[in-house]
Structure 1
Amino acid sequence: MAADGGRRQTRIQIEKREAIREAALDVFSAHGFRGATLDQIAEAAGLSKPNLLYYYEGKEAIHAELLERLLDTWLDPLREMDAQGDPLTELRGYVQRKLEAARDYPRESRLFANEIIQGAPRLIDELRGPLRELVDEKAAVLRGWMEAGRIARMDPRHLIFAIWAITQHYADFDAQVCAVLGSEDEARFHDAAATIEVLLMRGLAPR
């Protein structure tokens, strides 16, 4: 909660809060919630600790705001799956969007992973609410395609989980990917998309 009590913020205040969020994202994604300190966040933001506390009551408040923003980033690629589209095209597009998120938002992905590894203490209500509702909605779409014989039958929710597992690897384990490939060339995301597409398209082809 901001120390301004919800009053309209000035441009400087908005910029300071954004700087704090950016710094906190670096610190939380590197050290997790428990390992992160306000001193680390303040230093990364170029602020004194008292100055930081003018904008946020503590690291819990910063972390909660980051997680709230993160969930939308996490859910958007799945929201875009169109029930009226071609199943394989829609799934291919979903994989591509998830890989783009892994490429563009690696810190957010690690923040999310750290929260989940800890048992999601600060995010569990969102997982049981909006996330579960969206997965149920898209699982129903996938089930409809399966019943119509447009893609192979399988558990639709576990299909979604499998896509999450494969694509998020390229955010959370990117250092390992680059080390094994011997390169940090962004072509790795294109190559990953092509490989995942072969796996999915062959596995999902109607039998």
Structure 2
Amino acid sequence: MPRISRRDDVRATAARIFREYGYSSATMDLIADAVGLNKGTLYHYYPSKSAILYELLSDQVDETIALAARVSSDARPYERLRELIRLQVERVAGVSDELAVFFHEIPWIEKNLSDEQVKDLRQRIDTYRDITEGLLSEGAVAGELREMDVTMIQYSIIGVLAYVPEWFRLRSAEATAEVVDELSTFVMAGVLRSGLGSP
């Protein structure tokens, strides 16, 4: 009878431990004990702690880029930006350990991952940044958004998104919808040109 894979359990447990202890303080022993496996079996699923981190970070970047692909290309720039913001707020409001780990650990990837892994992640992060900054620039040129330093504003938007998993704990559909509406309105109010209308 084939052995049932525990890979998903390992990944979820590692994300929880990375979030609780921080990546640097977490160990494969901690993960193995928490998931109920011996360390040899754990290494069957992941060859190293950094392999788990790289997979977690990679998937978060890819899923964020995938959100951008869901935004209608036919809408006006400010409408596309608003939709992208709403999709991202909705996602980070899921209170995911993996998302929290992403925001905590992405500043330290040069320390914790190989040069090749860092280069790969940076390229995909640049793709996301280009999408967001492109929408901000396009909206400003169209007169829908105010003139701004698009790089600074893009980082500010990320800052808003990054902190949501730290404080949002209510998982009801009503609470999530309220957070999506409030934060999307807050972000858009900061970039819309005065007089354009409701964000």
Report the TM range for the smaller structure's normalisation.
Answer: 0.7 to 0.9
How far the C-alpha of 1:129 sits from its partner, in A, is: 1.2
TM-score (norm 2): 0.78
Query: 1:15-54, aligned counterparts within 5 Å?
Result: 15-54=5-44
Against the structure 1 CA distance between its residues 99 and 146, is the aligned structure 2 distance closer, same or farther, given a 3 Å change threshold? same
Tell me the distance in 2 between the aligned counterparts of 1:33 and 1:134: 24
Against the structure 1 CA distance between its residues 137 and 90, is the aligned structure 2 distance closer, same or farther, given a 3 Å change threshold? closer
Is 2:44 aligned against 1:70? no
Letter in 1 for 2:17: V
Tell me the distance in 2 between the aligned counterparts of 1:110 and 1:37: 18
CA contact (8 A) 2:57 2:106 kept: no
Is 2:173 aligned against 1:192? no
Question: SS of the residue aligned with 2:87?
Answer: helix
Against the structure 1 CA distance between its residues 156 and 21, is the aligned structure 2 distance closer, same or farther, given a 3 Å change threshold? same
Match of 2:3 in 1: 12
Unpaired runs of 5+ residues, structure 2, are 195-199
CA contact (8 A) 2:146 2:191 kept: yes
Is 2:130 aligned against 1:136? yes
Match of 1:85 among 67, 71, 75: 75
CA contact (8 A) 2:139 2:145 kept: yes
Match of 1:59 in 2: 49
Question: SS of the residue aligned with 1:54?
Answer: helix
Against the structure 1 CA distance between its residues 157 and 83, is the aligned structure 2 distance closer, same or farther, given a 3 Å change threshold? farther
CA contact (8 A) 1:27 1:41 kept: yes
Runs of 4+ in 1 over 6 A off after TM superposition: none
* Cα-to-partner distance string for 1:125-163 (whole Å, 9 max, x where unaligned): 245312113322442333122112122221233332222
Tell me the distance in 2 between the aligned counterparts of 1:159 and 1:22: 32
Tell me the distance in 2 between the aligned counterparts of 1:185 and 1:17: 26
Q: CA RMSD in A?
A: 2.7
Against the structure 1 CA distance between its residues 85 and 53, is the aligned structure 2 distance closer, same or farther, given a 3 Å change threshold? same
Report the number of matched residues: 189
How far the C-alpha of 1:79 sits from its partner, in A, is: 4.1
How far the C-alpha of 1:107 sits from its partner, in A, is: 0.8
How far the C-alpha of 1:71 sits from its partner, in A, is: 2.1
TM-score (norm 1): 0.75
Against the structure 1 CA distance between its residues 191 and 23, is the aligned structure 2 distance closer, same or farther, given a 3 Å change threshold? same
CA contact (8 A) 2:86 2:181 kept: no
Tell me the distance in 2 between the aligned counterparts of 1:26 and 1:105: 11
Is 2:145 aligned against 1:147? no
Tell me the distance in 1 between the aligned counterparts of 2:153 and 2:18: 30
Question: SS of the residue aligned with 1:109?
Answer: helix
Tell me the distance in 2 between the aligned counterparts of 1:120 and 1:84: 38
Tell me the distance in 2 between the aligned counterparts of 1:73 and 1:60: 20
- 1 or 2 for the larger relative contact order (CA 8 Å, sep ≥6)? 2
Question: SS of the residue aligned with 1:41?
Answer: helix
* Cα-to-partner distance string for 1:90-123 (whole Å, 9 max, x where unaligned): 2222222112221225211221122134354326
Match of 2:158 in 1: 164
Larger CA deviation: 46-55 vs 187-196: 187-196
Is 2:77 aligned against 1:97? no
Tell me the distance in 1 between the aligned counterparts of 2:137 and 2:2: 48
